[in-house]
Amino acid sequence: MQYRKFGSLDLEVSALGFGAMRLPVKDGEIDEPEATRMIRYAVDHGVNFVDTAYVYHNGTSEGFVGRALKDGYREKVKLTTKLPSWDVKSKADFDRFLDEQLRRLDTDYLDFYLLHSMGKKRWTELRDLGILDWAEEAMAKGLFRHLGFSFHDDAEAFKQIIDDYNWAMCLVQYNYMDVDNQAGREGVQYAADKGVAVAVMEPLLGGNLASRAEAVQAVWDKAAKKRTPVEWALHWLWSQPEVSTVLSGMTTMEQVKQNVAYAAAAKVEMLNPEELALFDEARAIHEALTAIPCTECGYCKPCPSGVDITENISLYNDAVKYEMLETCRKRYRFWENAYKTNPMFGEKIQAANCTACGECEEKCPQSIPISRWMEIIDDVMGKGKPVVKKLDQQ
């Protein structure tokens, strides 16, 4: 495992971090034996940064992580979780959530506590409630050692938040598709120049960059050194000196083993100019293939009407990306009555049941107009209308 300096702090973290948002699931719940095996394998092979959040896996991720880090594993890692900022209504909620999270994780302290999903509006609200004074007091009490934030907004908002406090770290969505999106390359450089450690989430854009679509694979095949699409995406990040750690939300043991092996070779500026040029080609192809820029983070859930938003979007993107429209239409129609024989399916899983209430859109880090897409998905999948690849086609 390779290790990197973490901003201006006197510590080093593993190039690969373990994100506990996409753990394996069995019968609708975290598969604890397998997920524990995965986390402990990662730690045993050098991973020393574990990240979770209050809302992951419908609120069960923190409790699981606490149990997985028993038997001496807690002492081997830097543990991070996040304040559910959207549920903060008063200053009293700061203590309420942190106390609950420490109990869930069964730990006396956190190494890092992040304000979850910051943007201009949400940051202003928390700042005005006194979050920074509260955080200083909590750190003085030893409840957490460092304060940071995760981010979903534009670069200008990101720089403003960076300037408002002496943050230890930031967690940003960043990958070779997001160079000019959200904080982007501009924000990553800005934070690093200020001594703020940069941790990266969504390195594969919700798995989209792991695609082996023929057109994308043809780009990677041009390189003299052969790598998988995942390996290319990760090394694009690790090649940048500003990136301290890359968090991967791994779902299988195979993914853990592969990513640990990739991280062992992670070096700054390891890609040559010819290899870096390939990313421009891959970026253009991905942009053309993906209709809805969803990362399947799940923040939009649960839908009050029961719609499985990410499943509908994933189905639609697969239909467009892999030209398998009829297959995806059959699956969509299957959902209509699947709940009668399979309790894993909700009665109203289909996009057709969206009421356009807008609750999901307020939570979506990608600012996707979900209700409009739900209507389109039902038109295409359920009613046989032509595929729409971009909203401007409407």
pLDDT of 23 over the 80 cut: yes
Mean pLDDT of 287-301: 86
Q: Examine the fold and report which residue of 259, 289, 319 is the final residue of a domain before the chain moves on.
A: 289
Whether 300 maps to a domain, the answer reads no
The fraction of the chain above a pLDDT of 70, given in percent, is: 96
Q: What is the pLDDT of residues 370-380, one digit of tens each?
A: 999 999 999 99
Whether 294 maps to a domain, the answer reads no
Q: How confident is the model at residue 342 (pLDDT cuts 50, 70, 90)?
A: low
- The pLDDT assigned to 93 comes to 97
Q: What is the pLDDT of residues 259-275, one digit of tens each?
A: 999 999 999 999 999 99
Q: How confident is the model at residue 4 (pLDDT cuts 50, 70, 90)?
A: very high
Domains identified in the chain, total number: 2
Rounded CA separation 250/262 (Å): 14
362 and 236 share a domain?
A: no
- Its sign, for the CA torsion 338, 30, 15, 161, is positive
- The pLDDT assigned to 391 comes to 82
Q: How confident is the model at residue 364 (pLDDT cuts 50, 70, 90)?
A: very high
Q: What is the pLDDT of residues 209-263, one digit of tens each?
A: 887 678 889 999 999 999 999 999 999 999 999 999 999 999 999 999 999 999 9
Q: How confident is the model at residue 76 (pLDDT cuts 50, 70, 90)?
A: very high
Beta strand residue intervals within 134-261, DSSP E: 144-151, 169-173, 197-201, 243-248
Mean pLDDT of 57-70: 96
219 and 361 share a domain?
A: no
pLDDT of 344 over the 60 cut: no
Residue among 105, 106, 88 nearest 96 (CA)? 88
Rounded CA separation 318/109 (Å): 42
Pairing of strands 78-83, 49-51: parallel
pLDDT of 394 over the 70 cut: no
222 and 349 share a domain?
A: no
Mean pLDDT of 49-72: 96
Q: What is the pLDDT of residues 128-179, one digit of tens each?
A: 999 999 999 999 999 999 999 999 888 999 999 999 999 999 999 999 989 9
162 and 48 share a domain?
A: yes
Task: Tell me the average pLDDT of the chain.
Answer: 92
Residue 129 belongs to what domain range?
A: 3-289
342 and 272 share a domain?
A: no
Pairing of strands 3-5, 12-14: antiparallel
Rounded CA separation 18/216 (Å): 27
Residue among 278, 284, 271, 291 nearest 391 (CA)? 291
Rounded CA separation 3/317 (Å): 36
- The pLDDT assigned to 212 comes to 67
CATH of the domain at 36: 3.20.20.100
Rounded CA separation 182/24 (Å): 28
